[in-house]
Amino acid sequence: MTFNQVYQSIKDVPYISKTNAKSLYDFILKHKPKHILELGIAHGTASCYMAAALEEIGGGKLTCVDLIDVKDVFKPSIEEQLAALGLQKHVDIYRMKSGYNWFLHNDIKASSNNETHICQPKYDLIIIDGPKNWTIDSSSFFLCDKLLNENGWIIWDDYKWTYSRADLRKEATDGISHRSLSDEELTTPHIKAIFELLVMQHPNYGNFIIQEDSDWVWAKKIKPNSTKKITYKQSHTISYYIIQKIRKLIRK
Contacts 24+ apart (CB under 8 A), 223-229: 223/150, 228/200
pTM greater than the 0.85 cutoff: yes
112-167 residue pLDDT tens: 998 999 999 999 999 999 999 999 999 999 999 999 999 999 999 999 999 998 87
Within a 10 A sphere around the Cβ of 180, how many other Cβ atoms? 8
Q: Which amino acid is at 76?
A: P
- Name the percent of the chain lying above pLDDT 90: 85
pLDDT of residue 46 exceeding 60, the answer is: yes
CATH class of the region 3-251? alpha beta
Q: Which residues pair with 65 in a beta bridge?
A: 39, 94
Query: How many Cβ atoms from other residues are within 10 Å of residue 19's Cβ?
Result: 15
